């Protein structure tokens, strides 16, 4: 069939790449580092977008759209942000092509159409947005501004992987402006909670909420919060970030407001984002050697129905039953696919829909017609059961709920087993090499120790968990005193 993918324990990385391609999620394009998101992959992303967009709107945010291009002079205004992204920016320098006099049928950049000021293709939009907010904000009455943007961004990456790291990716970026630091911090934490809720309830992916260390902070932020997930190979993946920007961008772009007390003050800001990277996380969190395992809440197809037939007559009778089941399920809001192709055998179809992660498969053959039954298979556990036809439309919704819970619980179990407390540096290295996962260890709080551990182990501090307990200890690396543990891991 040409649809087999390698086993995870043979080559996890190859398993991932092949799965992404063979399940028709995405592929590489002719443009270095840029991917094509194929229809099936995009339909999962659309489900994510819909769920997130509703959560953003329910928390008072509106969508807007800001330019793709950032003039260099704006880009460089917030110095740390500019430094952070300068090395990976696509730059527009010209605005016209002309026919190449030396090569018939070819075009060349028109040297006379050079821009006076170069334009940076947005790697993130704080600069262009805060430059706009300057016009929108005069008084405390204009605050807060709660805006989100769905957009493409470009960060020139040298080593790319489908969904996980691409030169162009799709994301949403929230950018809010507030009258007080306190309100901005509350917004930052609220959006982190929204992300965690989305990851756990929709993606069925448990996450740890935490704070980044200084060295891992978003360039230009005062504080970066993140959610960290654990993949099946023991590597961590940062699934979303929410930044408290302090007054950094307000100062850089001169965004001030008159307070209730009549004083002119700098505005406080936040920004927060998740991207198509979540697709990579979703795939790696649940899928198995047979293909995708999708949580029902994000599955483009909830139920696939495969008829087992030898004659047109049989297919016709099966179709009548299938139409009833489909109608009953669709009425309840489920997406049902009836795979009645006569060009492929049932076994091929089973494998194909397993590869694509459809949560529930129904199979109906002539004997089922006689007995008034249907075979119901769940994708996550591969369990099958035979059910009465007239029970299906009530049973499938319960089964889908069960699958959603079940894959969450399985991922949670795996994640919890892969948080290991260590007391020494040797233990830390041993766990990273042999078991993987998060390693909970004392750290002395210095960037030097953090850098040394990263250099020696390739593990980074994923976060300082928000729920961390005060606990006296000694840094595993330096032996200096520490009052709390942080989470180390190798990461995507």
Applying CB under 8 A, the residues found at the interface with a second copy are 27, 29-31, 34-39, 42-43, 45-46, 62-72, 74-76, 79, 82, 86-99, 105-107, 109, 118-121, 128, 131-132, 135, 141, 147, 151-152, 154, 156, 168, 170, 343
Least separation, in Å, of the C-beta of 177 and a second copy? 13
Q: Please, which residue, 91 or 386, has the CB nearer to a second copy?
A: 91
Least separation, in Å, of the C-beta of 100 and a second copy? 9
Query: Residue 409 phi/psi, 5° resolution?
Result: -65, -40
Residue appearing with tokens 């952070």: 84
Q: Please, which residue, 26 or 459, has the CB nearer to a second copy?
A: 26
Q: Please, which residue, 85 or 353, has the CB nearer to a second copy?
A: 85
Contacts of 201 (CB under 8 A, 6+ apart): 297
Please give the Cα distance from 270 to 133 (Å, whole number): 13
Q: Please, which residue, 106 or 480, has the CB nearer to a second copy?
A: 106
Dihedral over Cα of 246, 251, 252, 254: its sign: positive
Q: Please, which residue, 132 or 213, has the CB nearer to a second copy?
A: 132
Least separation, in Å, of the C-beta of 257 and a second copy? 16
Please give the Cα distance from 328 to 272 (Å, whole number): 40
Least separation, in Å, of the C-beta of 61 and a second copy? 9
Q: Please, which residue, 132 or 393, has the CB nearer to a second copy?
A: 132
Q: Please, which residue, 35 or 364, has the CB nearer to a second copy?
A: 35
Dihedral over Cα of 219, 171, 271, 264: its sign: positive
Half-sphere exposure of 267 (CA within 13 A, CB side): 30
Q: Please, which residue, 115 or 412, has the CB nearer to a second copy?
A: 115
Q: Please, which residue, 96 or 458, has the CB nearer to a second copy?
A: 96
Q: Please, which residue, 62 or 483, has the CB nearer to a second copy?
A: 62
Contact, 243 vs 164, CB < 8 A? no
Please give the Cα distance from 269 to 137 (Å, whole number): 12
Please give the Cα distance from 478 to 474 (Å, whole number): 8
Indicate the Cα dihedral angle 467, 469, 473, 477, nearest 10°.
0
HEC-encoded secondary structure of 403-423: HHHHHHHHHHHHHHHCEEECC
Tokens of 288: 């198995």
Q: Please, which residue, 35 or 392, has the CB nearer to a second copy?
A: 35
Please give the Cα distance from 365 to 368 (Å, whole number): 5
Least separation, in Å, of the C-beta of 7 and a second copy? 26
Of 233, 238, 191, nearest in space to 213 by CA: 238
Please give the Cα distance from 189 to 281 (Å, whole number): 22
Least separation, in Å, of the C-beta of 285 and a second copy? 22
Strand partners, 52: none
Asked if residue 144 has a cis previous peptide bond (ω within 30° of 0), the answer is yes
Least separation, in Å, of the C-beta of 158 and a second copy? 10
Strand partners, 370: none
Least separation, in Å, of the C-beta of 28 and a second copy? 10
* 222 DSSP 8-state letter: S
Contact, 159 vs 165, CB < 8 A? yes
Least separation, in Å, of the C-beta of 142 and a second copy? 12
Least separation, in Å, of the C-beta of 374 and a second copy? 28
Contact, 194 vs 292, CB < 8 A? no
Of 459, 12, 489, 457, nearest in space to 232 by CA: 12
Tokens of 129: 């947005």
Least separation, in Å, of the C-beta of 382 and a second copy? 28
Q: Please, which residue, 311 or 343, has the CB nearer to a second copy?
A: 343
Contact, 284 vs 16, CB < 8 A? yes
Least separation, in Å, of the C-beta of 156 and a second copy? 4
């Amino acid at each position: 069939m040409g649809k087999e993918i390698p086993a995870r324990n043979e080559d996890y990385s190859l398993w991932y790449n092949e799965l992404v391609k063979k399940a028709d999620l995405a592929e590489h394009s002719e443009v270095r580092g840029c991917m094509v998101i194929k229809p099936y992959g995009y339909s999962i992303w659309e489900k994510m977008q819909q769920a997130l967009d509703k959560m953003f709107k329910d928390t008072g945010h509106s969508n807007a759209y800001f330019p793709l291009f950032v003039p260099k002079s704006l880009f460089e205004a917030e110095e740390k942000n500019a430094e952070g992204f300068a090395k990976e920016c696509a730059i527009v320098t010209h605005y016209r092509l002309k026919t190449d006099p030396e090569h018939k049928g070819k075009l060349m950049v028109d040297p006379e159409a050079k821009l006076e000021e170069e334009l940076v293709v947005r790697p993130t939009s704080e600069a262009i947005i805060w430059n706009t907010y300057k016009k929108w904000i005069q008084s405390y009455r204009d605050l807060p501004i709660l805006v989100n943007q769905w957009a493409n961004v470009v960060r020139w990456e040298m080593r790319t992987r489908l969904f996980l790291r691409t030169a162009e990716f799709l994301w949403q970026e929230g950018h809010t402006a507030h009258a007080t630091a306190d309100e901005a911090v509350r917004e930052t934490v609220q959006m982190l909670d929204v992300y965690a809720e989305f990851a756990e309830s929709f993606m069925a992916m448990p996450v740890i909420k935490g704070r980044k260390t200084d060295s891992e902070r978003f360039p230009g932020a005062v504080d970066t919060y993140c959610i960290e997930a654990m993949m099946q190979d023991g590597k961590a993946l940062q699934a979303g970030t929410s930044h408290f920007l302090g007054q950094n961008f307000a100062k850089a772009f001169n965004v001030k407001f008159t307070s209730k007390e009549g004083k002119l003050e700098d505005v406080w800001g936040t920004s927060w984002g998740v991207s198509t990277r979540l697709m990579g996380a979703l795939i790696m969190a649940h899928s198995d050697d047979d293909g995708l395992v999708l949580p029902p809440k994000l599955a483009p197809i909830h139920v696939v129905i495969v008829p087992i037939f030898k004659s047109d007559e049989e297919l016709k009778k099966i179709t009548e039953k299938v139409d009833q089941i489909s109608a009953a399920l669709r009425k309840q809001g489920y997406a049902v696919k009836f795979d009645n192709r006569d060009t492929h055998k049932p076994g091929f179809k089973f494998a194909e829909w397993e590869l694509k992660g459809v949560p529930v498969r129904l199979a109906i053959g002539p004997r089922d017609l006689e007995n008034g039954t249907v075979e119901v298979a769940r994708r996550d556990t591969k369990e099958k059961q035979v059910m009465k036809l007239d029970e299906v439309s009530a049973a499938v919704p319960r089964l889908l709920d069960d699958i959603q819970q079940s894959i969450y619980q399985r991922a949670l179990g795996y994640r919890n087993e892969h948080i290991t407390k260590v007391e020494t540096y040797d233990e830390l290295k041993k766990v990273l090499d042999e078991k993987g996962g998060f390693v909970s260890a004392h750290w002395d709080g210095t960037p030097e120790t953090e850098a040394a551990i990263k250099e020696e182990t390739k593990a980074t501090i994923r976060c300082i968990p928000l729920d961390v307990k005060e606990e006296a200890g000694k840094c595993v690396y330096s032996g200096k005193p520490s009052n709390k543990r942080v989470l180390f891991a190798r990461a995507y």
